[in-house]
Structure 1
Amino acid sequence: MRRFALSIAASMTAATMAMAEGVVAPAEVEFDEYGAVTVSLSGAPGDAENGRLLMNKGSGNCIACHAVTDLEELGFHGEIGPPLDGVADRWTEADLRGIVANAKVMFEGTMMPSFYKTTGYVRPGDAYTGKAAEGELAPLLTAQEVEDVVAYLMTLKES
């Protein structure tokens, strides 16, 4: 029985490692000269429904700065960033992936957070302690969450 359990554990570990192999680490993301990212960060297709959820909660919270008519039932939408209606007609998937991962590559000086970045911060805080964070920082969104948000954004067409 123990040998069987070890065999299952080894199989699950191998499967997890195989899935993680397709993930591009934040420090390894390759932006083109304009800031686009042509390669999937997770190695898996994005889930537009989960991307829609991330637009309003958690580390995504895109509507804090952007208006999106498709999400009007969610209440307050910000006006700091441009409206996202029709964004799929204005940008390619690679452009949107680059913007979500780290908009500062494409738009130097933008206020938009870098959602898939773990280094190069001036002084990130440690939650609500008033102290600087220690150790390695996690990105605001995982590689798959970036892909999910991009998949949702690709559904936002003018027509």
Structure 2
Amino acid sequence: MRALLALLLTAGAHAQVGDAERGRALLADRTQSLCLLCHALTAAGDANQGNLAPPLDGLAARLSPPELRERIADMRRFNPATVMPPFRSTEGLRDVAPAWAGRAALSAQQLDDLVAYLGTQGRP
């Protein structure tokens, strides 16, 4: 029950209005969001972006904002074997640096900003 409550709180129950421009800047900042370490922005790829995970273009056509938010918050809910970090959960993590112990990688506002930006990817 506690895990379900935590998931509801982090994955959408308190979603704020995100700012797409802040989300774009956060996504591009490889020291904060880490998105581009594994993902490319487009299917064509980029030598400075990842190729481990699916490209981010077209997300708005495939996933709703709540679905995007849930996956970024904790992809383990959809794929327990994922290598994607749980950006809004600290549950079940091991070997966490002391400075990050008990802290989510992204704030709720940062998550909403990323969702706002990613929601623009793939719209005509």
TM-score for the superposition, normalised by structure 2: 0.81
**Unmatched tracts of structure 2, length 5 or more:** none
Q: Tell me the CA shift for residue 148 of structure 1.
A: 0.3
Q: In the alignment, does 2:13 pair up with 1:39?
A: yes
Which protein has greater RCO, CA pairs closer than 8 Å, 6+ apart?
2
Query: In the alignment, what sits opposite 1:28?
Result: 6
**Number of aligned positions between the proteins:** 116
Residues 4-56 of structure 1, C-alpha deviation per residue, up to 9 Å, x if partnerless?
xxxxxxxxxxxxxxxxxxxxxxx72328xxxxx44344xx2001111111112
Q: In the alignment, does 2:76 pair up with 1:111?
A: no
Q: In the alignment, does 2:76 pair up with 1:98?
A: no
1:152 counterpart (117, 120, 123)? 117
Q: Tell me the CA shift for residue 123 of structure 1.
A: 2.1
- Superposed CA RMSD: 2.3
The AA in structure 2 aligned to 1:62 is C
The AA in structure 2 aligned to 1:29 is L
Following TM superposition, the consecutive aligned residue runs of length 4 or more in structure 1 with deviations greater than 6 angstroms are none
**Unmatched tracts of structure 1, length 5 or more:** 1-26, 32-36, 128-132
